[in-house]
Amino acid sequence: MLDELIKEVSAAEMPSHIAIIMDGNGRWAEQHNQKRISGHKEGVNAVRRIVDIAGEINLKYLTIYAFSTENWGRSKTEVGYLLKLIMDSLNKEINGLRKNNVNIRFIGSDKELSESYNKKVIETCKKSWDNDGLHLNIAMNYGSRREILEAFNKMRADIDKGELLEDDISEATVSKYLYTAGMPDPDLIIRTSGEQRLSNFLIWQSAYSEFWFTKTLWPDFSKEEFLQAIIGYQSRKRSFGKR
Ligand code: IPE
Ligand code: IPE
Ligand code: MG
Q: Is residue 243 scored above 90 in pLDDT?
A: no
Task: Please name the residue whose Cα sits nearest to atom 11 of ligand 2.
Answer: 199
List CB contacts of 30: < 8 A, sequence separation 6 or more.
36, 39
- Given 25, 71, 103, 137, which residue is catalytic? 71
Ligand 2 pocket: which of 67, 70, 213 to mutate (most atoms within 8 A of CB): 70
> Is the predicted pLDDT of residue 8 greater than 90, yes or no?
yes
Class in CATH terms, 2-143+184-234? alpha beta
pTM of the model: 0.98
- Cβ of 215: how many Cβ atoms within 10 Å? 10
Report residues whose beta carbon is within 6 angstroms of any ligand 2 atom.
21-23, 65-68, 71, 195, 197, 199
Instruction: Determine the average pLDDT of the residues in 17-26.
Output: 99
What is the rounded distance in angstroms from the CA atom of residue 145 to the CA atom of residue 127?
A: 30
Look at residue 225 in the predicted model and tell me its pLDDT. Answer: 98
- Residue 141, ligand 1, Cβ within 6 A: no
* Mean pLDDT, residues 195-224: 98
How much distance in Å is there from the Cα of 160 to the middle of ligand 2? 36
Per-residue pLDDT, averaged over 83-95, amounts to 98
- Mean pLDDT, range 12-39, rounded to an integer: 98
23 catalytically annotated: yes
pLDDT on residue 198: 98
Residue-wise pLDDT tens digits, 46-65: 999 999 999 999 999 999 99
The residue ranges of every structural domain in the chain are 2-143+184-234
Q: Who contacts 21 (Cβ-Cβ below 8 Å, separation ≥6)?
A: 65, 189, 190, 191, 192, 195, 198, 199, 201
What mean pLDDT is reported for the chain?
98
Query: Average pLDDT for residues 99-118, to the nearest whole number?
Result: 98
